[in-house]
Amino acid sequence: MEKMISIQERTYDFALRIIRLYKFLDKNDLNKTIGLQLLRSGTSIGANVEEAYAAQSKKDFIHKLSIALKEAR
């Protein structure tokens, strides 16, 4: 049986992978620009999921998770 991993754990692990990838990239002009955008968008997914779990209402929760979904796309 496969263990279920929460969305919070998955997005946290994803953010760590994004950070490691960014550190690995050469820092030429193109990679720096693209890398920084990747770093911002890749780590914001988990941040938005965490915000959703602290939402003040069901509507707020759905809204914040939809933002995380948009970032993931």
Could you tell me which residue, 57 or 3, shows the higher pLDDT?
Answer: 57
Q: In Å, how far are 8, 31, 44, 62 from 58, measured between CA atoms?
A: 18, 39, 21, 6
Domain range for 62 is 7-72
- Let me know if residue 2 belongs to a domain: no
- Tell me what pLDDT residue 1 has: 63
The CATH number given to whatever domain includes residue 23 is: 1.20.1440.60
Could you tell me which residue, 14 or 73, shows the higher pLDDT?
Answer: 14
- Let me know if residue 14 belongs to a domain: yes
**pLDDT, mean of residues 1-28:** 90
- Let me know if residue 65 belongs to a domain: yes
Q: How many domains does the chain have?
A: 1
Largest CA distance in the chain: 46
- Let me know if residue 19 belongs to a domain: yes
- Let me know if residue 44 belongs to a domain: yes
pLDDT 10s digits, 19-65: 999 999 888 888 888 999 999 989 999 999 999 999 999 999 999 99
The answer to pTM > 0.85 is: no
